[in-house]
Amino acid sequence: MTNNSTDQFRFGTIALVGLPNAGKSTLMNHLVGEKVAIVTPRPQTTRNRITGILTEKDFQVVFLDTPGINKAGGRMNELLNRAALEALRSADVIIILVDSARYADRPYLIRKELALLRGKVMDFANVFIAANKVDKIRDKKNMLPVMEELAELFPAREIWPVSALSGDGCRALLDKVISLLPYGEAHYPEDQISTLPMRFMAAEIIREKLFMHTRQEIPYGLAVEIENWTEEDNLIRIGALVYVLKSSHKSIVIGKKGHVLKSAGMEARQEIEALTGKKVFLETWVKVRPGWNENRGILSSLGLG
Ligand SMILES: Nc1nc2c(ncn2[C@@H]2O[C@H](COP(=O)(O)OP(=O)(O)OP(=O)(O)O)[C@@H](O)[C@H]2O)c(=O)[nH]1
Ligand SMILES: [Mg+2]
């Protein structure tokens, strides 16, 4: 049971921001204790603001996982950056995730790559830096220059070395930021883990599996839209459209004898079944839509913009 009396209970929002691939979604999933956001080794996996909810005895927190801030052009990237920056405004606490391993050999890059983000959080009071992926740095001496650079770029901000993958340091950071949340009542039932509709989560799971089965530029040109969703007793029938940018991409996504789409579809189906507790019948169609990532209508039907 949650203690919901407002004199002791805290409620608030924590935004997770950073460059693409820093580990924001991994950290949120770890803290929520469930896979809410999809995770892949590729940058720009997250394309929307993803909420994850954690409720404990004396607090409820809504995490806002955001797309990685990036400098690439194009309408979609503009929308990704905007979604990330808008999350800052509604947050009580901001955690900036940094991939420490990326900078172990080149700490000077921190200044170059994180200057933009620093400018955006200048006016916020509660900003923490999570120096993530410490598990990847074998010689801990190599963490020192990274910590020093971060301290120089973000003076007066606390810097916490963590591993979102192993969970090292994450609980201590969570306890710290929870102590800064305002007092208030829970906004969601205690077993709710996200505000996202199941349809959206299913589309994300399908996209994750397709990302994992394709290479190079294909993932960036992939989008998934749920076209049909019908529930009968213990069965969900899902029809999903997979958009690609070119016809050459379509044959790669389908694969020889359809094996890519088949494997990704099977993995997605199993995960959606585990998530919903129902049997899932999943059909996917691949459609070539040149320029979908520049098309306002399609972007907005995908929840972007
Ligand atoms: N070794 C290690 N890998 C990590 C850690 N955190 C995240 N990763 C890996 O880094 C990759 C990117 O993780 P994500 O959580 O998708 O990163 P993100 O910041 O959400 O990325 P975008 O959504 O693309 O901006 C995945 O392969 C994760 O498994 C960590 O602490 N240690
Ligand atoms: Mg992500």
- Give the domain ranges of the chain: 10-178, 198-301
Q: How far apart are CA 186 and CA 209, in angstroms?
A: 34
Question: Cα(4) to centroid of ligand 2, in Å?
Answer: 31
- What percentage of the chain's residues is helix, strand, coil (to nearest 5)? 40, 25, 35
Only one residue has tokens 């405004």, namely 89
What distances in angstroms separate CA 13 from CA 33, 118, 131, 156, 279, one per listed residue?
17, 20, 20, 22, 34
Q: How far is the CA of 97 from the centre of ligand 2 (A)?
A: 11
- d(CA 60, CA 304) in angstroms, rounded, equals 27
Per-residue pLDDT of the chain (305 residues; tens, 9 = 90+): 455 555 799 999 999 999 999 999 999 999 999 999 999 999 889 999 999 999 999 999 999 999 999 888 889 999 999 999 999 999 999 999 999 999 999 999 999 999 999 999 999 999 999 999 999 999 999 999 999 999 999 999 999 999 999 999 999 999 999 999 999 999 999 999 999 999 999 999 999 999 999 988 888 899 999 999 999 999 999 999 999 999 999 999 999 999 999 999 999 999 999 999 999 999 999 999 999 999 988 899 888 87
Question: How many angstroms does the Cα of residue 83 sit away from the middle of ligand 1?
Answer: 19
Residues 6+ apart with CB under 8 A from 35: 29
Q: What is the pLDDT of residue 190?
A: 96
Residue 104 in contact with residue 134, Cβ under 8 Å? no
Cβ of 55 less than 6 Å from ligand 1: no
Tell me which amino acid residue 232 is: E
Atom index in ligand 1 nearest the CA of residue 28 equals 15
Could you give the 3-state DSSP secondary structure of residue 294?
A: helix
Q: Tell me how far apart the alpha carbons of residues 177 and 158 are, in angstroms, rounded to a whole number.
A: 11
Q: So what CATH class is 198-301?
A: alpha beta
Write the CATH number of the domain with boundaries 10-178. 3.40.50.300
Instruction: List the strands of the sheet with 223-232, edge to edge.
Output: 223-232, 235-244, 279-288
Give, for ligand 1, the residue of 16, 26, 30, 44 to mutate: max count of ligand atoms closer than 8 Å to Cβ: 26
Smallest Cα–Cα separation from 31: which of 52, 57, 49?
52
Taking the centre of ligand 2 as the mean of its atom positions, its distance from the CA of residue 102, in whole angstroms, is 17
User: Is there a contact between 193 and 53 (Cβ–Cβ < 8 Å)?
Assistant: yes
| Ligand 1 pocket check for 22: Cβ under 6 Å | yes
Is the CB of 83 within 6 Å of ligand 1? no
Residue 48 CB less than 6 A away from ligand 1: no
* Beta carbons of 218 and 252 less than 8 angstroms apart: yes
DSSP letter for each residue of 149-218: HHHHHSTTSEEEE--TTT-TTHHHHHHHHHTTSPB---SS-TT---SS-HHHHHHHHHHHHHHHH--TTT
Specify the amino acid at residue 32: V
The pLDDT score that the predictor gives to residue 219 is 87
The DSSP bridge partners found for residue 288 are 244
End-to-end CA distance of the chain: 38
Predicted local confidence at residue 4, as pLDDT: 55
